[in-house]
Amino acid sequence: MTTYVAVALVTALLGYISSLRTLRLLWWIAPAAVLVLFSANRYGIGTDFFLYQNYFERVGTSSLGDTLSLIPQEPGFVLLTWATRRLTSDPHLYFLVLAILTVFPVLIAIRKASPLPVFSLFLYVALGFYPRSLNTARQSLAASVLLLAEAYRYERKWLWATLTVVAPFIHVSALIAVVGLFALKGARVGTLAFPIALATALIAGATLISFPALRDLIAGLGPRYEAYLGLTEGGEIGTALRLAAVSSLVFLCLFLVRTRTDRVRNDRYTTFFSASALLLAIGLVNAQAVRVEEYFGIFGIIALPCAVEQVKNRNLLVAAISAVALAYLAMYVSAYGGVVPYVAR
């Protein structure tokens, strides 16, 4: 647990040093090196670690066609694995490639969209998105791609469209996120609407999962996801704690931006962040809803800095949120996906 807290603090410190005018190029070197090497150098960390390692080794002598047959619904990730395997037989380098492709889109998105890049970088680790990438590598990579896509929605629509199309080919569940992001485009959530939506999600979570159109979309992702529809158990206490923390942060965002006049473009980050709380609420009834929460929750690393940017005594509020985020990180890594204790190669 303390290892991940240290990573969050060291990364933020290096991010701060890299924000100095004469040292800005370090942003792409110092914090990036910590995050990439910490991820790439792990061994047996995350419940899916050996699944990815075995998959990488399995494609060693396979043709691209045979490799695609292993995970046909995710050709982008398959192609990445196959191409990397053609260059090296070392799984360590494979995890290095995955780490680079996961971390750098986040760093680029932060520099592009966040008014407080160092705070965003810290939140990426402290709110659990970086530790999660040590477990669900494909899904975290797809989430990073969608975050980067959204950062360029208005300035480079061709890049936004390309990345949005690519994400589901990395992990098929990103298709649900793409549909959700399109559906939420232009939506604005207020301090009154959010609690009502949250209560509705808590009460009607099981009913929402049973909607025919939603069930058809989930079932179309593959047999594994179709099997999830038959599961009715809710999330554990960890989901409830995450819901409490995320809902509080969402409400803080909504409260801080309610009178802002420059909110149109930044509103979408808060809206997407709000959707993550609703998915966690549904997850209390059907735990499978939590599987796609990451795609929406990661926008919180942009939404929170946008919300606190113009607050008087901003540094005090940032410090308070950071303290809460560190407590959340300690709780999260202790209960999630076999990421503690950290073991290096």
Give the confidence band of 232 by pLDDT, cuts at 50, 70, 90: very low
User: Taking Cα atoms as reference points, which of 246, 292, 290 lies closest to residue 270?
Assistant: 246
User: Taking Cα atoms as reference points, which of 249, 253, 269, 243 lies closest to residue 332?
Assistant: 243
Mean pLDDT over 28-46 rounds to 94
pTM here is 0.90
Question: Higher model confidence: residue 61 or residue 73?
Answer: 73
Please check the confidence at residue 337 and state whether its pLDDT lies above 90: no
Residue 262 and residue 340: Cα distance in Å, rounded?
Answer: 42
Q: What is the pLDDT of residues 302-317, one digit of tens each?
A: 999 999 988 888 999 9
Please check the confidence at residue 11 and state whether its pLDDT lies above 90: yes
Give the confidence band of 211 by pLDDT, cuts at 50, 70, 90: low
Please check the confidence at residue 56 and state whether its pLDDT lies above 60: yes
Residue 286 and residue 223: Cα distance in Å, rounded?
Answer: 18
> DSSP labels for 138-166?
HHHHHHHHHHHHHHTTTT-HHHHHHHHHH
Mean pLDDT over 121-136 rounds to 95
At CA 339, angle to CA 336 and CA 343, rounded to 5?
A: 165
What confidence score (pLDDT) does residue 231 get? 47
φ and ψ of 233, to 5 deg: -70, 145
Mean pLDDT over 82-109 rounds to 95
3-state DSSP of 62-125: CCHHHHHCCCCCCHHHHHHHHHHHHHCCCHHHHHHHHHHHHHHHHHHHHHHHCCCHHHHHHHHH
Residue 7 and residue 23: Cα distance in Å, rounded?
Answer: 21
Mean pLDDT, rounded, of the chain: 86
What confidence score (pLDDT) does residue 93 get? 95
What confidence score (pLDDT) does residue 344 get? 83
DSSP state of 42: B
What confidence score (pLDDT) does residue 233 get? 47
- Considering 21-30, 93-102, 219-228, 280-289, the range whose residues carry the highest mean pLDDT is 93-102
For the stretch 59-65, contacts whose Cβ atoms lie closer than 8 Å and that sit 24 or more positions apart, written own/partner, are: 59/85, 60/85, 60/89
Mean pLDDT over 115-138 rounds to 95
Please check the confidence at residue 229 and state whether its pLDDT lies above 50: no
Please check the confidence at residue 230 and state whether its pLDDT lies above 60: no
The answer to whether 184 touches 248, Cβ cutoff 8 Å, is no
What confidence score (pLDDT) does residue 208 get? 57
Please check the confidence at residue 281 and state whether its pLDDT lies above 60: yes
Give the confidence band of 170 by pLDDT, cuts at 50, 70, 90: very high
Please check the confidence at residue 262 and state whether its pLDDT lies above 60: no
Q: What is the pLDDT of residues 178-205, one digit of tens each?
A: 999 998 877 888 888 899 888 888 876 6
What confidence score (pLDDT) does residue 215 get? 54
